[in-house]
Structure 1
């Protein structure tokens, strides 16, 4: 038996182009994670409880929070989540710094040192657990509406204010950011007001034609076809679709259509085979399989579908 012979030397490789090989290792997402772009633009999320993913801890094994999914998709860009439950569209303008109301100290008794009872000259009343960093007459602090009345809480407990213009510090954070808007559901019957407030947020972007994605409202069991709120939701969605085109994402259509309910995140649920889903579609409301127990928020599955749709549209807009 002949002894083993050493393998023949490999043929010399063809010289590589001066620019290196055109193929890249890994996926686009992994390359972005390991070699982040230094100038990645931040993303700011504005709105109420749907934007804060209230209800997202129900139905799924793990809670599904929209801002967390967007943070992963947009990495290394910073994602600021400013969704506050129960707020109305004027509260979003106040948070964004587009409204700068005159603040007056009231005669209400001070219950705790450093917590000054105030009112806003705009007449806007607080709602939800709203706490906005900002300043009054150069005094930094927090405008706190979480207890049902307005309080100004200076950063320095010894400081005091009697009146002045309140300016939100969130305006500086949002400067130059792209933004996602899901605002106005809590005052949706004021169709013109919601449209105007959303337009002001749109116009405040650095590049209004490119920097904003507006999310459409979805109908709950309180908004069945023919109801006043259903008509208002439809009117707002229709007008925003007309105004913003590809920068409007029709989530109502996603969550109340056979095509939407068969999208990849929801396909394993086989929603269309369930009688409750068919009854919901007859009423043109979101099926119970995607609703939280309170029936006014999305559960984890609903938030997963919304996150999937937002990421998809952001890719189409070349934000990602």
Structure 2
């Protein structure tokens, strides 16, 4: 996976130049990526590497968008009105190891507003847990 090694190299180069209080955010597959897709495998390999390399300074958005958005404090809090997890399509995506489709924009690559609300919560709690806020 030459793209993966380049991404790792570039991430480390940026991290080395970054201020002390820096968080590394992982990647997630697109709406159409199946569990066996090359892009999803590379994203997961990168996330695994980054978690091992950066420890508490790493955030995995794929896990957060799949798992934490189901927790009632977020689902019925900041994501209230989003409809996330209320469709069969979201449940099927979860069972297939994917991010719920209701959090993607129409292009299937980027998140929609609700997806970014979820990520903003992830960042807020990470920064708070690190004692930076």
TM-score bracket for this pair, using the shorter chain length = 0.7 to 0.9
- Partner of residue 12, structure 1: none
Name the structure where helix makes up a greater proportion of residues. 2
Higher relative contact order (CA 8 A, sep 6+): 2
Q: Check conservation: 1:218, 1:255, Cα contact below 8 A.
A: no
1:293 aligns with 2:106: yes
Q: Check conservation: 1:221, 1:295, Cα contact below 8 A.
A: yes
- Partner of residue 201, structure 1: 14
Gaps of 5+ in 1: 1-187
Q: Distance in 2 between matches of 1:222 and 1:275?
A: 16
Pick from 226, 237, 242 the counterpart of residue 47 of structure 2: 237
Name the structure where strand makes up a greater proportion of residues. 1
- Partner of residue 214, structure 1: 24
CA apart distance, 1:283: 2.4
TM-score, structure 1 as length reference? 0.38
CA apart distance, 1:189: 6.6
Give 3-state SS (helix, strand or coil) of 1:293's partner: coil
Deviation track 1:93-132 (CA, whole Å, cap 9, x = no partner) reads xxxxxxxxxxxxxxxxxxxxxxxxxxxxxxxxxxxxxxxx
CA apart distance, 1:309: 0.9
- Partner of residue 260, structure 1: 69
Give 3-state SS (helix, strand or coil) of 2:85's partner: helix
CA apart distance, 1:276: 0.8
- Partner of residue 317, structure 1: 130
